Amino acid sequence: MTQLPVTQPELPETPLAEVKPIRGRFDRENVFNTLRNFYEENQIKQMQDSGVDSRMVFGINSYYMALVKGEGLNDSKGEVILPVMPASNALQHLVVPVVAEAIDKSGEKDPSNQIRYSPDSLKGKILHKYDEIVLGYSALACSAHCRYCYRLDLFNGSTGKGLVKPEELKQYIIEYNSALEQNKGIDPDTGEKRYPIMEVLLSGGDPMVLSNKQLYKYLSAVAEAGIKMIRLGTKEMAFRPMRFDANLAETFRIFHSHYQDVHINIVTHFTHPDEFLERDETGKFKQENGYHVWLNVVKNAVENMGALSFVSMDNQTPIILHVNNSVQIMHLLHAELRHHNIKPKYIFQCREIEGHKAFAVPVEEAWRIHSESQQGLSDACRSRFAMSTEWGKLEIVSVIDGLPADLFESLPEEFMLPVQQLFGDGLVVLKMHRSPASAATQSDLVIARRNPKALWVSDYEDRIIYDGRKKGDQKFSPMAALLHSLLPGDKLDQLAKIPGMNGKEHSTSVAA
């Protein structure tokens, strides 16, 4: 049941004047002068000639620039916002362009074929990939630009995506849920059970670059559509933590007073502890009484939001080369965020964007980093490692070594080739953690032979031996089907007697 519209109230605004970012192509004077903090003029020209800024324009604000350079930052009144600290190489790699971005521009223009899940009525303005949640593009800008951003098509305009208006988003939700209810939850075209929209993710760009007044319009619009959970996908708590001030908290309180059943979930994007922890003159993270010292400006932002009973915070980030591809860094990231009531959610494989080879860590190496980083963490601190693909979120659950060479020598001749081809390299096991639309493939598996150089699921496509994205017998590769055909009757018993095979229990699992 929708709620009656409420007249837009008077809202306290968060000051924006001091945090206007420097943004644009390298030939802009302010951009060029900013890049000179990192490069010689001829190096900037080389990047420009290589097309780095046509792949993605440069963007940074004064706060994050000070964090990268370690130069400290004061506000207009002289109050310290950031202390002087050593420069952060990790954060520099996060936002400062490199020539390698243009050396190999292979990758997807529209990562994970998002436009496939954008309905014709609002093409390029929303994504409705998973039945229960709709993503709305509410902003086309950020306070700084992550060079690995999988929405770089928003910044270079290559796919024609644009903003959805609050009323458009509201109307889509109402009409979709109404039609679904009339059809008793069944898709009339396929006969499949479908699910109503229960959540909205405001994204972009970054919705937190909006004014409080504009943000409230989106919040109230989707609340009036009957939505009970609103996610705000943002990196502003790292890029501009001052945004999460008392005025924003009051704006949320005013919203809550009108829509008391609606929960706000802030999904932060902290990528490295340098974004929230204070460091000493040697670059080591400061500790007091056994606890790490948080930057006051970030701590205040987290506490302002954490004080609201109807607001929760989660964090997700990809593993990025030269930024956070470290077991120790990822362990600390998880532990410290959870200690301050931000729940780690997803750790992602870097998407196959254009130029991704400059940022991506191989899947199996990233899995190892994530897996080892979870050791010593309680379950409340842990995250899932996943690829957000066209077919849904694939969780990488295991990387398995190949079978020993001496085992192949003991196999009957007819088994040697299929077993060696299927299991000789080892296996990568992926689980369909989230499945689009009717969630028909939910919890199924994708099993492929290992490929240590793989950067994305596309690098496993010719190695897949079981594909839960497909139907029926198509799930099995020809070699897996051949092995299966060799196993009935006495062949199965024969395989079970081979040294190293675990009797009947093992042979049954192979046959399955």
Is residue 511 over pLDDT 50?
Answer: no
Amino acid at 508: T
* pLDDT tens digits, 118-159: 999 999 999 999 999 999 999 998 999 999 999 888 877 788
Per-residue pLDDT, 18: 55
* Range from 16-20, 63-67, 372-376, 378-382 carrying the lowest mean pLDDT: 16-20
Say whether pLDDT at 497 is over 70: no
Q: Is the pLDDT of residue 6 over 60?
A: no
3-state SS, residue 506: helix
Q: What is the per-residue DSSP string for 340-372? A: TT-EEEEEEEPP-BTTGGGTBPPHHHHHHHHHH
Q: Which residue has the higher pLDDT, 352 or 483?
A: 352
Average pLDDT over residues 200-228: 97
Please compute the mean of the pLDDT values over residues 439-451 and round it to a whole number.
95
Tell me what pLDDT residue 89 has: 98
What pLDDT is stored for residue 85 in this prediction? 98
Among 252-261, 389-398, 414-423, 500-509, where is mean pLDDT lowest? 500-509
- How many Å from the N-terminal Cα to the C-terminal Cα in the chain? 47
In the prediction, which pLDDT does 92 show?
A: 98
Report which of 95, 180, 176, 108 is spatially closest to residue 354, judged by C-alpha positions. 108
| Over residues 316-344, mean pLDDT | 98
Q: What is the DSSP string of 444-495?
A: -EEEEE--TT--SGGGGGGGEEEETTS-GGGGB-HHHHHHHHH-TTHHHHHH
Residue 272 has pLDDT above 70, yes or no: yes
How far is 15 from 472, CA to CA, in rounded Å?
58
Q: Residues, the chain, total?
A: 512
Instruction: Write out pLDDT tens, residues 372-387.
Output: 999 999 999 999 999 9
3-class SS string, 72-99: CEECCCCCEEECCCCCCHHHHHHHCCCC
The whole-number pLDDT of residue 158 equals 80
Mean pLDDT confidence for 49-70? 95
Examine the pLDDT at 408 and tell me if it is beyond 90. Answer: no
273 burial level (CB within 10 Å; 0-12, 13-18, 19+): buried
Q: How far is CA 74 from CA 81, 83, 297, in A?
A: 5, 9, 11
Residue 24 scores a pLDDT above 80:
yes
Mean pLDDT, the chain, rounded, equals 91
- pLDDT one-digit tens code per residue, 286-318: 999 999 999 999 999 999 999 999 999 999 999
- Classify burial at 493, counting beta carbons within 10 Å of its beta carbon; exposed 0-12, middle 13-18, buried 19 or more: exposed
What was the pLDDT predicted at 505? 38
Q: Write down the pLDDT at residue 23.
A: 93
Q: In this structure, which long-range contacts are made by residues 68-74, counting pairs with CB atoms below 8 Å and at least 24 apart in sequence? A: 68/92, 68/95, 68/96, 69/37
The per-residue pLDDT for 152 is 82
For the segment 2-29, the average pLDDT, to the nearest whole number, is 79
pLDDT for 503: 37
* Predicted pLDDT of residue 500: 47
* Global pTM exceeds 0.95: no
> For position 502, what pLDDT does the model report?
43
Q: How confident is the model at residue 20 (pLDDT cuts 50, 70, 90)?
A: confident
Contact at 8 Å (CB) between 274 and 333?
no
DSSP secondary-structure letter at 418?
Answer: H
What average pLDDT does this structure show over 197-215?
96
Q: What integer pLDDT is reported at residue 404 of this predicted model?
A: 82
Q: What average pLDDT score do residues 42-69 get?
A: 95
**pLDDT tops 50 at residue 495:** no
pLDDT higher than threshold 80 for residue 492: no
Nearest CA to 151 out of 124, 169, 119, 130 is that of 124
The pLDDT of 384-409, averaged and rounded, is: 91
CA quadruple 75, 78, 84, 87: dihedral, nearest 10: 30
For residue 1, what pLDDT is reported?
43
Helix, strand or coil, per DSSP, at residue 320:
strand
Q: What's the pLDDT band for 17 if we cut at 50, 70, 90?
A: low
Position 351 confidence tier, pLDDT thresholds 50, 70, 90? very high
Give the SS3 label for residue 185.
coil
Helix-helix angle 327-339:363-373, to 10 degrees: 50
Q: Which of 479, 330, 341, 320 is nearest to 414 (CA)?
A: 479
Amino acid at position 373, single letter: S
Of 15-29, 72-86, 193-207, 325-339, least confident by mean pLDDT is 15-29
